[in-house]
Amino acid sequence: MKVLKFGGTSVGSPERMKQVANLIKTEQGKKIVVLSAVSGTTNSLVALGELCENKKKEEALQASAELLKKYHAFIDELYSTDESKKASIEFVNQVFVDIDGLIEKRFQEQVAKLLVVQGEIISTRLFTTYLQEIGYAATMIMAQDFMTLDKYNEPDLKLIQKKLEQILPDVSDDIIITQGFIARNKAGGIDNLQRGGSDYSATIIGSVLGVEEVQIWTDIDGMHNNDPRIVKNTRPVSKLSFEEASELAYFGAKVLHPHCIVPAHQYSVPVRIKNTMDPGAFGTLISTESETAQTVKAIAAKDGITAIKIKSSRMVMAYGFLKKIFEVFEKYETPIDMITTSEIAVSLTIDNATQLRKITKEISEYGTVEIDKDQTIVCVVGDLIAEKKGVGSVLFQSLDEVPIRMISYGGSRNNISLLVASEHKADTLSKLHAALF
């Protein structure tokens, strides 16, 4: 068995959806197909929720009607039989009746969560109906029936495995369709795995079932060795270890959801990134193995970073000082990406500044606080890169004209991270690419 995940752009038009059906046909054996919402739908549904929150119900109802029109046109182009068109129109109309009912309700967080998952429910139903229309034996199962979160809002892998093992024996068809992103929380309410969560859904399903391979189908031929939107002559990396892929995903590579490698690594299930525009390309295989020919595999960049420096000649080296600082970030549920220390200062970075004002107020009790916004972490990833001779000197020589705010070298065996002002991001990526590749 394999798990195949297709993102929003892969099912973003009737033509693309038909192409996905052809790709599925080429994969032998039983397969679970995980779909995102049709591209643009999730953004529209999030916008509906924001209109509701701001008590702009009439605008929300109008926006809902416009989105429904787009689906009517989508359905008319996707199907060739009146039977399929009629059934799909009736289904989508009912979904939007439900959406409009949510708009009319008093806004609360659960309303927003119910709104945002409707896109995956629509895409999977339309796709299943299309497969059946062209003669494929396909069954749809609902993600909320098995994708369960624990009390910490993390996927409960053992319970997910148990539920899938109860559901799947009753499905005889070789093609099983389900939704990405959607989950059910500990209280029993509909929830989600956050933006990009369809990747996470796919690797969770594939991991707990111990499948042969999880395939993430996207619009690029694998993980590239740098950002192709900024740097010329990048290339896909054919093989990455789980550790290397995790570092790249967390530190800015847009191809994968940052959390999705975790379950695959835990269960040693290979993940392959494939290109729907070029199905014959090898893509990137993420497994226990890595390319051994090159020390440095890839470079990634993570924007939206805030650097915080706490200066105190009296406190920094005192016993328990760092503990007190970390407790402030724990209190406000704000993870730290990088940290460096000296005799009189501690510098660290965060990628979520929503609680910055409160954090700054509390840590000001321990010293002078300096804030630098609009920073970027540039991450150089490779197999045991921090233990190889000469890598550091190449990095710093190539960036001798770039102001480096912070360095993390040796915190991980597989990456070296640099913090630069975001205005220097493109120059940093290009200079590192020229020096390393």
Split at pLDDT 50, 70, 90, the class of 20 is very high
Q: What's the whole-number mean pLDDT along residues 393-419?
A: 85
Residue 343 has pLDDT above 80, yes or no: no
Other C-beta atoms lying within 10 Å of the C-beta of residue 357: 8
**22: phi > 0 → left, psi -120 to 50 → alpha, else beta; which?**
alpha
Q: What's the whole-number mean pLDDT along residues 344-354?
A: 91
Q: How many Å apart are CA 75 and CA 268, to the nearest integer?
A: 40
Q: How many Å apart are CA 293 and CA 287, to the nearest integer?
A: 16
Tens of pLDDT, residues 321-333:
888 889 999 999 9
More confident residue, 392 or 435: 435
pLDDT at 130: 97
Q: What's the whole-number mean pLDDT along residues 13-42?
A: 94
pLDDT at 296: 85
pLDDT at 107: 86
From the number of C-beta atoms within 10 Å of its C-beta (0-12, 13-18, 19+), residue 355 rates as middle
Split at pLDDT 50, 70, 90, the class of 387 is low
Q: What's the whole-number mean pLDDT along residues 183-198?
A: 90
pLDDT at 436: 87
Other C-beta atoms lying within 10 Å of the C-beta of residue 212: 14
Question: Which residues, in sequence order, are CB contacts of 221 under 8 Å at separation 6+?
Answer: 236, 274, 275, 277, 278, 281, 283
Phi, psi of 6 (to 5 degrees): -125, 130
SS3 324: helix
Q: What's the whole-number mean pLDDT along residues 33-50?
A: 95
Q: What's the whole-number mean pLDDT along residues 408-422?
A: 84
Phi, psi of 409 (to 5 degrees): -130, 110
pLDDT at 166: 97
Q: How many Å apart are CA 82 and CA 295, to the nearest integer?
A: 57
Split at pLDDT 50, 70, 90, the class of 388 is low
Q: What's the whole-number mean pLDDT along residues 18-27?
A: 91
**What structural domains does the chain harbor?**
2-219 (3.40.1160.10), 297-436 (3.30.2130.10)
Split at pLDDT 50, 70, 90, the class of 315 is low
More confident residue, 320 or 140: 140
Mean pLDDT score across all residues of the chain: 91
Residue 313 has pLDDT above 70, yes or no: no
Q: Are 246 and 417 spatial neighbours (Cβ–Cβ below 8 Å)?
A: no
Q: What's the whole-number mean pLDDT along residues 55-76?
A: 96
Q: What's the whole-number mean pLDDT along residues 216-225?
A: 88
pLDDT at 290: 74
Q: What's the whole-number mean pLDDT along residues 1-21?
A: 95
| C-alpha closest to that of 146 among 168, 115, 129 | 168
pLDDT at 32: 97
From the number of C-beta atoms within 10 Å of its C-beta (0-12, 13-18, 19+), residue 64 rates as buried
CA distance to 18, 146, 420, per residue, from 273 (Å): 20, 25, 29
Tens of pLDDT, residues 286-296:
998 876 666 78
pLDDT at 294: 66
Q: How many Å apart are CA 188 and CA 201, to the nearest integer?
A: 18
Q: What's the whole-number mean pLDDT along residues 203-227?
A: 93
Q: Are 250 and 258 spatial neighbours (Cβ–Cβ below 8 Å)?
A: yes
pLDDT at 194: 83
Long-range Cβ contacts of 313-321 (<8 Å, 24+ apart) = 313/343, 313/344, 314/367, 315/366, 315/367, 316/341, 316/342, 316/343, 316/344, 316/345, 316/346, 316/367, 317/343, 321/346, 321/366
Phi, psi of 2 (to 5 degrees): -125, 160
